[in-house]
């Protein structure tokens, strides 16, 4: 199962981002040419996925300052794991 995010409202949707579950058919396809099993997504899409995950981490901790780098690094690891799992 893949979770994507829908944005709506003012401020580019930052305050109203909500997860939307989509079917596997809409998920990135696995690149079988590399044999690595890593889903092929564009660098822009990967960045967007990490950004959204980091936003939700920050939201869960009440947007308290000082942990932005940790939010990003943990989100990056999470997305890499999800993409590798295909």
Residues 22 and 3: their CA atoms lie apart, in Å, by 6
Position 15 pLDDT exceeds 80: no
Query: Which tokens go with 44?
Result: 């822009």
pLDDT for 36 equals: 54
pLDDT for 81 equals: 95
Residues 39 and 14: their CA atoms lie apart, in Å, by 26
For 10, phi and psi rounded to 5 degrees?
Answer: -75, 175
Q: Whole-prediction pTM value?
A: 0.58
Q: Model confidence at 37, in pLDDT bands (50, 70, 90)?
A: low
> 53-83 pLDDT, tens per residue?
999 999 999 999 999 999 999 999 999 999 9
């Amino acid at each position: 199962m893949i979770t994507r995010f829908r944005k709506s409202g003012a401020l580019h949707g930052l305050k109203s981002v909500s997860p939307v579950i989509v079917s596997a058919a809409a998920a990135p396809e696995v690149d079988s040419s590399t044999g690595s099993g890593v889903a092929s997504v564009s660098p822009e899409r990967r960045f967007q996925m990490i950004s959204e995950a980091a936003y939700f981490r920050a939201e869960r901790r009440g947007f308290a300052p000082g942990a932005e780098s940790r939010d990003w690094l943990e989100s990056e690891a999470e997305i890499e794991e999800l993409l590798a799992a295909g």
